[in-house]
Amino acid sequence: MLWEQSVDPSGALGERFGFDSVAAAETWVSTVLARTWGITAGGCTRIVISDHNAIVWVDSNLGPLVVKWSRARERFASLASSSEVLRGLGERGLPVAAPIATVDGLDRVVLGTPTGPLSVTVLPELTGDWLDIDDESAVRSAGTHLAELHDALRSVHVIDTAPRLQPLHRRVENWLADGDRGFAPDASRRIGELLPSLPALDDEPQLLHNDFRAANILTENSTVVGILDFDEVLIGHRVHDLAKASVYLGTRFTDWRPTPPEVQRTFRAGYESVRPLGPTEARWLELLVLWQAVIAVPNADDTAGWASTALDLGAGGT
C-alpha cells in the first residue's frame, strides 16, 4: 500500500480490483500485455496500490515496464488526457515515460475485470534516485526542468477533458471566506493583505503538471533524469504550479514534511534561469507560496512544522 498503512494489501487487491492473489493479478497482466500490446511478460516484480489505482512493475521482452491502472470511472477521460500529454512530451524530448502503444495504436485502453472496468496504460520504467532536497544542485536542476516542462506543455494540445482551475483571485477569496481552517492565522492575515493589490495575471492558462515533487522526480548525479505521474494534469497559470511545487517539493509518499525556504529559493533560481518571472508573476508567487503553505498544514497538532514554515514565508522567508 502506498499510503494506507493499516490496510491489508491482499484484501485490497481482491476487493478493489477482483484479484484474489498476486498470482491472479500477475496472470491477468501477462494476458492483457500479450493480447492488447503484443508484449511478452516475464513476471511481476512489485505491485503498489493507491486508493483506486495500482502500479505493477513487470519484466518483459521490451525490458522493465510499468503497468498502471485505475478503477475510478469518473477519471477515465482525464487519465486518457494525461496519457496523450505524456505522448506529446516524449515526442518533444522531455525526460518522461511516454506510453507504449497497443497493437491498435492506443496509449490507454479500458479493459474488463471481475469487479468492473479498469483504465490501463503501459510505460517504460524510468530509473534514478528520488529527488533529495538536501542536494542543492539537484534542487536547481528540478527548477530548470519544471520551467522546461512548462514551455513544452504550452505547445501540447489542450485537451477538453483536462480540469481547469478557477481564476486565482476568486479561488483565494473563496478560501479566505470559507476554506481557511485557522491553523496559521498570521499567515492567513498576510494573504488577505496581499490579495487586493494584485493585478490579474496576463499569461494564458495552460496545461500544468500539478504534482511536481520529490516522489515524482528522479535524479542521477544531481540532475533530473525522469519526471513521473502526470495523472493530475490540469489547466491553470504556470506561477501557481511553481508555487505548489515549491511548497511540496520535498514530499515523498508517507514522508510528508515542509520544504525549507532556502530550498525554495534555490528551486526558484533554477526555474528562473530558464524562464524568468515577470513583475506580476513574482508578486503572485509570494502570495501563492504562502497560500499553499497554509493549505498544507494538516491539523492543529502540526508535528512536522508546516505552520511555522508558513509563518517564516509570511515574514519574508521567500
Find the CATH number of the domain harbouring 134. Answer: 3.90.1200.10
**Residues with Cβ < 8 Å from 80, sequence gap 6 or more?**
107, 108, 119, 161
Under the banding of pLDDT at 50, 70 and 90, the label for residue 74 is: very high
What's the pLDDT at 49?
A: 93
CATH of the domain at 82: 3.30.200.20
Tell me whether residue 279 is in a domain: yes
Better-scored residue on pLDDT, 157 or 62: 62
User: Does 1 fall in a domain?
Assistant: no
In a domain, 3, yes or no: no
Average pLDDT over residues 104-119: 93
Q: Is residue 178 part of a domain?
A: yes
Same domain assignment for residues 116 and 135: no
Q: Look at residue 206 in the predicted model and tell me its pLDDT.
A: 92
Domain end marker among 124, 153, 168: 124
Euclidean distance between CA atoms 318 and 312, whole angstroms: 8
CA atoms within 13 A on the CB side of 39: 27
CA 27, 86, 94, 51 torsion: positive or negative? negative
d(CA 206, CA 63): 34
Number of domains making up the chain:
2
Same domain, 117 and 150: no
Final residue before a domain boundary, out of 100, 124, 148: 124
Q: Which domain holds residue 82?
A: 9-124
Nearest to 228 by CA among 36, 89, 41: 89
Q: Which alpha helices (DSSP H) does 18-158 contain, by range?
A: 22-32, 76-91, 136-154
**Residue 245, in any domain of the structure:** yes
Q: Is the domain of 81 the same as that of 176?
A: no
Residue 246 included in any domain? yes
d(CA 175, CA 166): 12
- Together in a domain, 47 and 163: no
Q: For the chain, give the mean pLDDT.
A: 93
pLDDT band at residue 270, thresholds of 50, 70 and 90? very high
Query: Is 104 within 8 Å of 82 (Cβ atoms)?
Result: no
| Residue 202 in domain | yes
Same domain, 151 and 119: no
pTM for the whole thing? 0.93
Chain segment 151-190, per-residue pLDDT in tens: 999 988 766 667 788 899 999 999 999 999 999 999 999 9
**Same domain for 294 and 147:** yes
| C-alpha cell belonging to residue 219 | 535524479
